[in-house]
């Protein structure tokens, strides 16, 4: 029941982030958290709070989830490391990568994919990491003069690219994915082939 409610609420909030109602920010950690808060505000009391943060819920209990892992998968980053690592990733994006601006489509895709792999390895939120990352990186792409179309990506492919990046420290699969979804010709071909199996944000 919660999953069904989440789908409906989140679908509406994801429409918001394509409009003037989207959270504003400068692609820092606060911007990432604002996107998560906006998308999941109708579902989770801890929306916008990373899983290492202690959050007092409406029933008085304190929620914190410093350890998180997928079923049969490797654990994601330990809670105490999340805040500093997010700041380091955001700092690299700002200082070393100049927000990925001024790059060719291929260069942008390759570097953006590595950024997403790094961010996914942190998995800062209890739920909704993928959707938050896709909104964040899509906005970053737009600011850099590119477009990423995740609507043609199958859920299975996105999961495998994420697992390979996190557990094998290999961004190649994610880089191929990003190169394809930034190419209008490939997007059209993928969209026709994967119409019934694309990810649902």
DSSP 14-55: HHHTTSTTSPP--SSHHHHHHHHHHHHTTT-TTTT--TTS-E
Are 113 and 120 a contacting pair, CB within 8 Å?
A: no
- Predicted confidence band of residue 14 (pLDDT cuts 50, 70, 90): low
Alpha helices by DSSP H, listed for 59-99, are 79-91
**For residue 123, with 0-12 CB atoms within 10 Å meaning exposed, 13-18 middle and 19 or more buried, which class applies?**
buried
Mean pLDDT within 169-197: 87
Q: What's the rounded Cα separation, in Å, for the pair 97 and 42?
A: 34
- Predicted confidence band of residue 7 (pLDDT cuts 50, 70, 90): low
Q: What is the pLDDT at residue 68?
A: 85
CATH architecture under which domain 2-193 falls: Orthogonal Bundle (1.10)
Give pLDDT tens digits for 42-88. 999 999 999 999 998 899 999 888 788 777 778 899 999 999 999 99
Of residues 79 and 4, which shows the higher confidence score? Answer: 79
Identify any residues that bridge with 198 across adjacent strands, giving them in sequence order. 154
For the ranges 65-69, 88-92, 149-153, the one whose mean pLDDT is highest:
88-92
Mean pLDDT within 179-190: 93
Q: Where exactly are the structural domains of the chain?
A: 2-193
């Amino acid at each position: 029941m919660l999953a069904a409610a989440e789908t409906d609420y989140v679908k509406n909030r994801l429409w918001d982030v394509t409009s003037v109602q989207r959270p504003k920010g400068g692609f820092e950690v606060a911007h990432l958290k604002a996107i998560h808060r906006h998308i999941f505000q109708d579902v989770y009391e801890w929306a916008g709070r990373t899983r290492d943060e202690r959050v007092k819920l409406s029933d008085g209990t304190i929620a914190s989830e410093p350890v998180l892992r997928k079923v049969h998968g490797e654990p994601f980053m330990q809670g105490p490391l999340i805040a500093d690592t997010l700041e380091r990733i955001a700092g690299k994006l700002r200082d070393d990568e100049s927000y990925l601006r001024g790059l060719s489509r291929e260069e942008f895709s390759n570097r953006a994919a590595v950024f997403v792999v790094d961010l996914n390895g942190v998995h800062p939120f209890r739920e909704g990491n993928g959707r938050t990352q896709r909104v964040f990186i899509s906005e970053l792409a737009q600011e850099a003069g590119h477009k990423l179309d995740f609507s043609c990506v199958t859920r299975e492919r996105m999961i495998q690219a994420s697992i390979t990046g996190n557990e094998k420290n290999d961004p190649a699969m994610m880089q191929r994915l990003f190169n394809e979804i930034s190419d209008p010709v490939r997007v059209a071909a993928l969209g026709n082939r994967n119409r019934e199996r694309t990810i649902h944000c």
